[in-house]
Chains A and B, each alone.
Chain A
Amino acid sequence: MSSDRRRPGNGAAPPVTSPNGDTPLPRPGDPPITPDLVDDHGISPDEYDQILRIMGREPTFTELGVFSAMWSEHCGYKNSKRLLRLLPTEAPWVIQGPGENAGVIDVGGGWALAFKIESHNHPSAVEPYQGAATGIGGILRDVFTMGARPVATLNSLHFGDLDSPRVRYLFSGVVKGIGDYGNCVGIPSTGGEVYFDRGYEDNPIVNAMCLGLMRREDLIRGTAEGVGNTLMAVGARTGRDGIHGATFASEELSEGDDEASRPQVQVGDPFTEKLLLEASLELIASGHIVGIQDMGAAGLTSSGAEMAGRSGTGVVMDTARVPVREQGMTPYEILLSESQERMLVVAEAGREDGVREILEKWELEAETIGHVTETGTFRVLEDGVAVADIPALPLTEGCPTYERPGEESPEIGNLRKTDVLHYMLPPNGLESAFLAVVGSPNTSSKQWVYEQYDTSVRANSIERPGGDAGVIRVPGTNRGVAATTDCNGRHTYLNPRTGAMGAVAEAARNVACTGAVPMAITNCLNFGSPLKPHIRHQFREAVMGMRDACAYLETPVTGGNVSFYNETDGQAVYPTPVIGMVGVIDDVGNVVRHAFRDPGDAILLLGTNRGELGGSEYLYAVHDVVAGEPPAVDLHAERSLQRCLLAMAGRRMLKSAHDVASGGLAATLVESCLGRPRTGRAVGASIRLEDELPDTALLFGEDHGRVIVSCGPDEEENVRRMTSDHGVPCTRIGTVTGEESPLEINTRSAALRLALGALRDRYFGTIPGIMSEAG
């Protein structure tokens, strides 16, 4: 405790000023600024020259640390910014596009939806439990600092193969970390995705997304407006954890990093987060404050500088006034700490006591640390002595950006050219391949994961995990918001442009399957090192694919996150541009589920079977191969299909709708028959597929633009008419049969009869089996 540093209890803090003049001088004990020290801070000689130009003098050690964080890849987006400008970001319903803590769209009825996705890959690779937990904490804060109450979280997780003990350790730690944090704060998890592929062996991808709802007028931004207004540090105290986390997230990992990197990983406290959430929403409603921002990556530095940068103002703060939990912290440490559950708040001058009162109710601290100035600089004092003074705008916006040419690795070109016809014959027959595909860790149920997350708290979960997209009701209304995350890393590995386009198309299709209109995306772009030409090629291609799909499907990008350097010892992850798509449905009573319901219902396929096996789960699970051209995306067909689904959902014509994706028709049919676990009910189906395609291509092809729907027999004609009106191919492929009847599939050359019990064992049993046997 540093009670000696706290103001006397009368509420009036003395003004933050520096009696020693304006120019910061090195503190006693600061290391001299040498080329090596600059290099250690991840700043190139050219970038350092630019810093000298901005400053007009040599920076102090503290200032160098500030630049290092703000100009890191994580905060400065230096290798991505130019390309990201190509993405569509506007639509009439977009209230807040990229550049804020979270994007915001209008969802009707006076409600706005804030949403964002962010990565916590690097910390999770080193300490999976805390890494993932603090990822959830950070994304919740990004949403509630907009004034929105978090209502749902989703996670996109990619791990190596589960036969590795280290991968199982990472997997179980990440899932437990996400669960323990989100459950305690009381935010339901409504979905996401989990992939396993050796492309993620050493570098897991841990992306967390959050949705929050607010009345439109409650929107607040991360700005430092109003010269003379007061800067307050709110929430948890500042410690030495996570110093330089932003810079750490901008480097490759190497063997042996686990132990050495631990101090850069933050530790989360979900209980404090819950209090901070309630206190922040109360603060925003009180009108005491004009701006609020999470002290996330690069902590006090980025929150202070960004709030000033956005408003064109300046800030001055005194690190001696920041509540700390360790003695002897230097300004450098206080500015760069990434201790969790902290906020920087700009209070209206004179209303500081009101802020403090609300925080005290929630058993949290609020301390005046400085104020808004007109100087345009990010100025830091230590007990009145200047230690940093940097022009705010060049610090936040002046980070040098690069767009260096890229080039595809010839290895990938060769993989893509592989003729998948070589793999048409499953070595142990079709039925064995069928069970291998539906029972592979990728295709099989993620029940083991999502049952560790609270999915029903707050009693608004209309569609819980396990379907195509999660749906949450807007409290007190019939309106709902849908959300999903998608990225098939194998597809983006083989062809980043097609793969990214496919991720957007699939995400939109998933949302449309539930009956919700796809509205906008947030993205999390997980790649290797941008210093390598082939990674730059992947990144550029993925952005182009995303641009085309988002523009065509009218789902603009409202923000997101770039995570580079997902590499260990030179081995990069698959390029993984995760799409977090949100949608809106006017009446949650119209939500369409993925499971077949009543015997006698007609089963129809919307879209066309093309038998595209490139990058498929079949090739991976049965032949241990990642090769071929990934499935093509026809954006026009996608849009027609989605519009058709929405029209049918609005008229309540469908009993079920389920997207065809990883694992092909085989996986979709099994999932529609089995439905959800623990409902005590599953139905069979009798299916006939007439396509002239090899059986493996027909059953396991992952062609885009397909959805399997079911409807009552008397609705079939209406469905046909509706699909024909929308120009969507529609084929009757079968009938729902009785409870516990088998799934029968007949093609031109094969007949499969699969008992639901065996399918259930495979589909629900795979991951629990692996995790309990292996421990």
Chain B
Amino acid sequence: MNVAVVTFPGSNCDQDCHRSVELAGGSPQYVWHRETTLGGAEAVIVPGGFAHGDYLRPGAIARFSPIMDAIIDFAREGGLVVGICNGFQVLCEAGLLPGALLRNRSLRFQSHDCWLRVERAGTPYTREYREGQVIRMPLSHADGNYYADAGTLAELEAEGRVVFRYCDARGDVTPEANPNGSLNHVAGIMNRRGNVLGMMPHPDRAIEEVLGSVDGLPLFESLVGTEVTAAARSEVA
């Protein structure tokens, strides 16, 4: 599968995502933010970093990069789009995902491993996980505190669109296991159609045993293994 990895000025996880797709057996290609097409890609990753310096607020300027129109059109057609960390923030700013990422409860940048519970298996991003599986990967952000109004949050929960939730090593969703103050411990969500995923933790940094965890790799394997055809897209639609 051809996967576009978008590079904004200030992206710094584009290479990590590129490598993750490669390790999962896919064919990654970089797409510069000034491009206006995705070059035939079958999925898009918006990587982490500080697109446009995160000036104003994370993702706020990136949303206006020329490539974003192509990404929004692609997502509206049912194309697979995943935003990781800063990429999640960009997708929220672009209106592809509901809610917003606020400053961490600690008011500090936080970089450490966290545990996640896979709340929803069987999506294009989680087919290689078990439901309820507890996985571990790094997080690294200053603005990862997920917020949405009560109605949106209830909808997310009711429709099973919370894909990953912060938990402890045993999988329990305890207050101490919430690293940044996210509502309902939300670590990753999908859009209603199920083709756009945003998550704050970094599966792209948990792809090899020698890095301390391989729990991120199944996400890329799920993505790469998902059959995407124009027909499939319209089916999703």
Contact = CB atoms under 8 A, between A and B. Distances in A.
Interface of A: 176, 179-180, 183-186, 269-272, 274-275, 362-363, 450-462, 473, 588-589, 677-681
Given A176-B108, A184-B50, A459-B207, A271 B10 contact: yes
Contact of B210 (A269, A272, A473, A680): A473
Nearest 9 A/B pairs, CB to CB: A186-B12, A271-B53, A680-B169, A456-B138, A459-B16, A184-B50, A456-B205, A454-B140, A454-B111
Given A180-B109, A452-B110, A455-B111, A362 B9 contact: yes
Contacts of B50: 183-184, 186, 270-271, 274
B113 A451 contact: no
Contacts of B12: 185-186, 274, 457-458
Contacts of B64: none
B54 interface: yes
Contacts of B108: 176, 179, 451-452
Contacts of A459: 16, 19-20, 204-205, 207-208, 211
A656 to B, nearest CB: 15
Contacts of B109: 176, 179-180, 183, 452-454
8 contacts: A176-B109, A179-B109, A183-B140, A454-B109, A456-B211, A458-B15, A459-B19, A473-B210
B13 interface: yes
B9 A275 contact: yes
Contact of A456 (B19, B49, B111): B111
Interface of B: 9-10, 12-13, 15-16, 19-20, 48-50, 52-55, 108-115, 138, 140, 142, 168-169, 202, 204-205, 207-208, 210-211
A183 B52 CA distance: 14
Contact of B112 (A179, A271, A272, A451): A451
B56 to A, nearest CB: 12
A461 B13 CA distance: 13
Contacts of A452: 108-111
B111 A274 contact: no
Most buried by B among A180, A184, A681: A184
A24 B53 CA distance: 43
B229 to A, nearest CB: 31
Nearest to B19: A459
Contact of A462 (B52, B142, B210): B210
Contacts of B15: 458
A269 B13 CA distance: 19
A15 to B, nearest CB: 34
Contacts of A457: 12-13, 16, 48, 140, 205
Contacts of A271: 9-10, 50, 52-55
B176 to A, nearest CB: 11
Nearest to A271: B53
Nearest to A184: B50
A451 B111 CA distance: 5
Given A456-B205, A457-B205, A186 B113 contact: no
Nearest to B15: A458
A461 B202 CA distance: 14
A680 B134 CA distance: 13
A592 to B, nearest CB: 13
A362 B33 CA distance: 11
A679 B20 CA distance: 23
Most buried by A among B168, B207, B208: B208
Nearest to A480: B210
B221 to A, nearest CB: 16
Contacts of A274: 9-10, 12, 50, 53
A451 B106 CA distance: 12
Given A184-B54, A274-B12, A362-B9, A678 B113 contact: yes
Contacts of A269: 53
A270 to B, nearest CB: 7
A179 B205 CA distance: 19
Given A271-B55, A456-B140, A679 B113 contact: yes
B210 A363 contact: no
Contacts of B52: 271
Contacts of A363: 9
A397 to B, nearest CB: 39
B109 to A, nearest CB: 5
A186 B49 contact: yes
A362 B52 CA distance: 11
B9 A458 contact: no
Given A454-B140, A456-B140, A184 B10 contact: yes
Nearest to B52: A271
B13 A589 contact: no
A473 B207 CA distance: 14
Nearest to A448: B108
Given A186-B13, A362-B9, A458-B12, A270 B113 contact: no
Contacts of B210: 462, 473, 588-589
Contacts of A450: 111
Contacts of A589: 210
A270 B9 CA distance: 12
A583 to B, nearest CB: 17
Contacts of A473: 210
A724 B210 CA distance: 31
Contacts of A461: 211
Contacts of A272: 53
Most buried by A among B12, B110, B111, B168: B111
Given A183-B50, A183-B142, 19 more contacts: A176-B108, A183-B109, A186-B12, A270-B50, A272-B53, A450-B111, A452-B109, A455-B111, A455-B112, A456-B111, A457-B13, A458-B12, A458-B16, A459-B16, A459-B205, A462-B210, A473-B210, A588-B210, A678-B112
A633 B9 CA distance: 49
Most buried by B among A272, A452, A588: A452
Nearest to B115: A680
A456 B202 contact: yes
A679 B108 CA distance: 21
Contacts of A176: 108-109
Contacts of A275: 9-10
Contacts of B207: 459
Nearest to B16: A459
Nearest to B108: A452
Contacts of B55: 271
A451 B49 contact: no
Nearest to A451: B112
B205 A270 contact: no
Contacts of B53: 184, 269-272, 274
A359 to B, nearest CB: 12
A467 to B, nearest CB: 12
Contacts of A455: 111-112, 138, 140
